[in-house]
Amino acid sequence: MFDAAPAFSPSATRARPFSSVPAQGRLDALLSGPVTSFAVGAEIYAEGDKAGALYQVAFGIVRIYRLLADGRRQICAFQMPGEIFGFESDGERHFFADAVADTGLRTVRMASAADLSGELLNLALRGLSRAHDHMLTLSRLGACSRVAAFLLEMAERQESEESGVIDLPMSRADMADYLGLTIETVSRVMTKLKDAKIIRLPTYRHIDVLDWDGLREMAE
């Protein structure tokens, strides 16, 4: 039931893959249903909603976030194709979820999930592990490291190492709210990476990585 993960040395801490969720036996069977579409910006659920379902991303990308009273936003996670989200510890949503790009989702009703606690536990523990990684990033890394780590994370999730191209499906504002920075700071770091010849920016949303080692160094 427990699957293997890469060895966990302190230095490898933030290099951990954000790999898509592995095959989950019975869960997968329940997730083979129809795909519901969401347009850019469409809300999937909101804080306070009754939690009725789990979702698996078929295509597109979803942001999971919370809001502070004054409007500040913390994006807890981006969900990419194959990944499952929507667990709650009680029957209520504690987050907002909406589509960053045009997105398709498969659904499992909670009722069907009653006897899947083994599979769900595994998913929850992985989520916990990621949350802790992200906590480390937010609390202990400078702006450059955060952005570089984010780019590496996206690269890994897209298997970009070969092509050298990273696709950014989200805006600078989304990046900033995920990394706990302002859009200006994110932008400045991007420019800095560009000036250092570590990346090129053919468009705002496409990155050519020229120097992976340089990027990795930056992420410390």
Partner DNA sequence: CGACTACTTGAAAAGAGTCAATTCACGTGG
Partner DNA sequence: CCACGTGAATTGACTCTTTTCAAGTAGTCG
SS3 sequence of 22-90: CCCCHHHHHCCCCCEEECCCCEEECCCCECCEEEEEEECCEEEEEECCCCCEEEEEEECCCCEECCCCC
Does residue 2 touch its own copies according to CB under 8 A? Answer: yes
Could you give the string, one character per residue 181-220, with x where binding to DNA holds by CB under 7 A and - elsewhere? xxxxxxxx-xx---------x-xxx---------------
3-class DSSP assignment, residue 157: helix
Nearer of residues 39 and 46 to its own copies, judged by Cβ:
46
Structure tokens belonging to residue 185: 């700071």
Contacts with its own copies, 68-87, as mask; x by CB under 8 A: xxx-x-x-x----------x
> Which residue's CB is nearer to its own copies, number 38 or number 95?
95
Distance of CA 33 to the CA centre of its chain: 23
143 binds DNA (CB under 7 A): yes
Contact positions toward its own copies, by CB under 8 A? 2-5, 7-11, 13-20, 47-48, 66-70, 72, 74, 76, 87-95, 110, 113-114, 117-118, 120-122, 124-129, 131-132, 134-136, 138-140, 179-180, 220
